[in-house]
Amino acid sequence: MAAQRKRLNTATLVLLPFWAVVLAAYVGTMLWTVQISFTASKLLPVDEYVGFAQYERLFGSTRWSVSMQNAVIFGVLFIGGALVLGFLLAVVLDQRVRFENTLRTVFLYPYAMSFIVTGLIWQWLMNPGLGIQKAVRDWGFTSFDFAWAVDRDMAIYALVLAGLWQASGLVMALMLAGLRGVDEEIWKASRIDGIPAWRVYLFVIVPMLRPLIVTAVVLLAISVVKAFDLVVALTNGGPGISSDMPAKFVMDNLFTRQNIGLATAAATVMLITVAAVLVPWIYTEYFRKARVGGTA
């Protein structure tokens, strides 16, 4: 008994530095950020409290509302698009096509590359004077328009397209693993009943893959919230502020515009938005199962 207690103590001791790091680096910095957002800080943090003034400024700012709208547009199209495209790719690869391994490699390789690289590639493809637009116009389609990254109305869709190119393979890989785990009996049964394959996929397989789909949505949603690199590399938020995103809004106000109070207020709004979605998810995913005893 005494020996066991000693061993437990070793484990407790080992956890202590981790506690320290987690409390300081995650909890502490988070609280500090929230605290700064209630002050009048500009270049450096000051202790002059101004209540919700920074938040009022924030919600009065056009740039912030554009950023939030863009986050919603990007989020919906990127997550939805990647799910649909990734799932289709997985289904196609599951039809015993030739060169399956090669195709899987082709669909997934962009995911190995950074968003900076992705953004720069698509910036070149969308180059107004020399990119794909020019090539297609030279073929005779003179009204073809693909200079999205420098087009105020299309810049956000340029980000979506580049994001889909980078991340759809991730969904494909997850879904393909799920499809390979589907019981053969289901396919036999559905064939005997004469149900067309697409209906089986849509109404039987998709519900079965629900946990994987949730995982994919979470992973994609993280990249939406963190969308900074891609924006910087592809459009830099422009033209003007037309493709700005919350993460970039915060970074600009923190490090170039010396508006710490406003930036931390914006970061806090991001935090609340994400936490509102996350906390219930983490709770059900990790803790309810343990407590109910595996019945969840």
Report how far residue 87's alpha carbon sits from residue 153's, in angstroms, rounded to the nearest whole number: 29
CB of 20 or CB of 76, closer to other proteins: 20
CB of residue 25 to other proteins, shortest distance in Å: 5
CB of residue 104 to other proteins, shortest distance in Å: 8
SS3 annotation, 146-210: CCHHHCCCCHHHHHHHHHHHHHHHHHHHHHHHHHHCCCHHHHHHHHHCCCCHHHHHHHHHHHHCH
| Helix, strand, coil percentages in the chain from 3-state DSSP, rounded to 5 | 75, 0, 25
CB of 89 or CB of 160, closer to other proteins: 89
CB of residue 60 to other proteins, shortest distance in Å: 20
Report how far residue 194's alpha carbon sits from residue 181's, in angstroms, rounded to the nearest whole number: 22
CB of 53 or CB of 274, closer to other proteins: 274
CB of 78 or CB of 228, closer to other proteins: 228
CB of 119 or CB of 151, closer to other proteins: 119
CB of residue 201 to other proteins, shortest distance in Å: 8
Query: Comparing C-alpha atoms, which of 221, 233, 74, 92 is closest to residue 149?
Result: 233
**Burial environment of residue 91 by CB neighbours within 10 A (0 to 12, 13 to 18, 19 or more):** middle
CB of 180 or CB of 210, closer to other proteins: 180
CB of residue 9 to other proteins, shortest distance in Å: 9
Whether the bond into 239 is cis, omega within 30 of 0: yes
Distances (CA, A) of 8 to 4, 12, 14, 284: 6, 6, 10, 28
User: Quick check: 38 and 55 in contact, CB under 8 A?
Assistant: no
CB of residue 45 to other proteins, shortest distance in Å: 7
